[in-house]
Structure 1
């Protein structure tokens, strides 16, 4: 009886200890992209981090402007610990004071200089390219040549068959800047971009579509045949077996940096920084390249020819343009209001 009581006491103590360990397990909230990026994060990235750090990761999916809006809504009482957003919104998050300082780690020595933020409050985790994409099967059937230029979006044969994300999405903003530059302007002179969309591209637009799921649906049901999107998104779409092809326009595509930052005021700052170190580790960089369509930020990561397919990598990266984010972010709200009023009516 005495032994039975002692055994029961030990078992109860063990259960109490297990409960205590479970209670102490922290929850890290990571806000990042949805779609194929989210799937790869949940399958290939998060489980290993949880196991190594005894942390539960809650992934909050949304586009970059949604994530920035959440930070603004939660100002002074942040619920998010880490954000993964486009480079433009990342610069905004830093300037608004939402990003904490990165803790030093050896992994940062391996990060490409172009992926580093001077503020040391955010870091590039990878990159995709913005360009054109099209349904190769439909083009072949119609004997249409593959698109090569941004100006192909103006071609009358694509009437109501073009899909472009709106400009609160970085892909759409890149397209607006591309047409401004083609018209002799740019970030500091955006008028030619608005004129091109209003007068020449709008007749061909089926939808200004922000949702990745809806974008693929419009192509799958045959309504859309050409559009503007990111290389990572197109790679994920093509990986499903759909005949989607990405095109680097001859005038130049645009670099879209994927950036991460630990949120200022996070109660889990150490774990937030550890998560960013994890994201930059070679195994995760390869996983995000293959599954998430993200070109690596870690210079020591080498991809096989098969893994490179559809990614900005090596020589292709040199041909990409970068956005003047200081100007674009300052004007973005004004441009978005104008876009909603004049273009997406």
Structure 2
């Protein structure tokens, strides 16, 4: 009887202990990732991040914002960052690296699966999503006008498109900057020489532009009204518009698109560097990038990741497109961006 009571007491203590520790054991860690809101956030929170959460008993919380917004948050809290991992457009990432925001990615087999251009110098970060800025056009308008699909960056200067070109501001949009630099190259310039772009624009593309927009958010509305006929965009951004029922299509310029990467980096001095490294490696992996392709039409940077058949059909041979893609010099761009922005506002959008 005594032994029974001792056993019962021990069981009761064990039971109470289990009740006491169970919630703590079940409680998962929380890790924060900064990325663009909208379609990207939706794709990752719906299908990609849950895979990591379940495998690691962790909650991943998205801090949404533009790349510039995210960088500003990191700079404001650089001594004690709250965000563990960030997605940044390559131009903003170049600025972040120059400011010492990121730490080196751990070496892993996953990094070797990436396209070589997606691995940043010293593996301080890596491309997680591939983009190619090219030409988007309003298929409904083009059909009504009997126009063939655009084929060249120089089509933005074709007089028949007068009043139908929408261009994102160079000073606030990577798409606008890429379009400007692509034309500047065709006119004989480079990132180190933007005089051809600024001098030729007012008499070529300028007369065709119906409106300069600060970002691409207004374009869907302008497509619906028939105002927007031609504008710089990526295949992923075009697919987002198509999902909303917009009559748009993507055309890769014969001279080649401009490479646009969304990069991932682990934030230096973050609260849980080991878990942050694990999340970054997961996001670069084949399973994660395949999910992102399905959920958000994100083009993988992992060479082993397959895209849905519909994406493959729309894009065609991605490696062929990449072989013609232009890679811009972000170091030179960031060094002169303030000067360019001032000239753009004074000479182009005045």
Once the two structures are overlaid, the 10-residue window that deviates more, 253-262 or 273-282, is: 273-282
Once the two structures are overlaid, the 10-residue window that deviates more, 84-93 or 197-206, is: 197-206
Distance 1:53 1:208, change over 3 A: farther
Q: Please give the secondary structure, in 1, of the residue aligned with 2:204.
A: helix
Give the superposition deviation at 1:188: 0.5
Give the superposition deviation at 1:132: 0.7
1:81 to 80, 84, 88: 84
Residues of 2 paired with 1:63 and 1:203: CA distance? 30
Structure-1 residue corresponding to 2:146 = 143
Give the superposition deviation at 1:88: 2.0
1:315 to 287, 300, 320: 320
Distance 1:49 1:329, change over 3 A: same
Question: Do residues 292 (structure 1) and 299 (structure 2) align?
Answer: no
Residues of 1 paired with 2:283 and 2:305: CA distance? 12
Structure-1 residue corresponding to 2:277 = 273
Question: Do residues 98 (structure 1) and 105 (structure 2) align?
Answer: no
CA contact (8 A) 1:293 1:310 kept: no
Give the superposition deviation at 1:63: 2.2
Give the superposition deviation at 1:151: 2.0
2:175 to 152, 167, 171: 171
Residues of 1 paired with 2:202 and 2:66: CA distance? 25
2:257 to 253, 257, 271: 253
Structure-1 residue corresponding to 2:242 = 238
Residues of 1 paired with 2:40 and 2:115: CA distance? 21
Give the superposition deviation at 1:253: 1.1
Structure 1: segments with no counterpart, 5+ residues: none
Structure-1 residue corresponding to 2:44 = 41
Distance 1:159 1:9, change over 3 A: farther
Give the superposition deviation at 1:295: 2.4
Distance 1:131 1:165, change over 3 A: same
Distance 1:337 1:21, change over 3 A: farther
Distance 1:273 1:4, change over 3 A: same
1:111 to 99, 105, 114: 114
Structure 2: segments with no counterpart, 5+ residues: 1-5
CA contact (8 A) 1:235 1:310 kept: no
Residues of 1 paired with 2:211 and 2:31: CA distance? 36
Structure-1 residue corresponding to 2:286 = 282
Structure-1 residue corresponding to 2:23 = 19
Distance 1:337 1:57, change over 3 A: farther
Q: Name the larger-Rg structure.
A: 2
CA contact (8 A) 1:164 1:229 kept: no
1:338 to 339, 343, 347: 343
TM-score by length of 1: 0.90
Structure-1 residue corresponding to 2:3 = none
Structure-2 residue corresponding to 1:125 = 128
**Cα root mean square deviation, aligned:** 2.6
Distance 1:158 1:74, change over 3 A: farther
Structure-1 residue corresponding to 2:196 = 192
2:155 to 152, 156, 167: 152
Once the two structures are overlaid, the 10-residue window that deviates more, 75-84 or 122-131, is: 75-84
Question: Do residues 208 (structure 1) and 220 (structure 2) align?
Answer: no
Residues of 1 paired with 2:254 and 2:97: CA distance? 33
- The total of aligned residue pairs comes to 344
Give the superposition deviation at 1:210: 4.3
Residues of 1 paired with 2:347 and 2:65: CA distance? 26
Question: Do residues 29 (structure 1) and 17 (structure 2) align?
Answer: no
CA contact (8 A) 1:232 1:310 kept: no
Distance 1:310 1:165, change over 3 A: farther
TM-score by length of 2: 0.89
Question: Do residues 161 (structure 1) and 164 (structure 2) align?
Answer: yes
CA contact (8 A) 1:35 1:213 kept: no
Distance 1:215 1:80, change over 3 A: farther
Q: Please give the secondary structure, in 1, of the residue aligned with 2:102.
A: coil
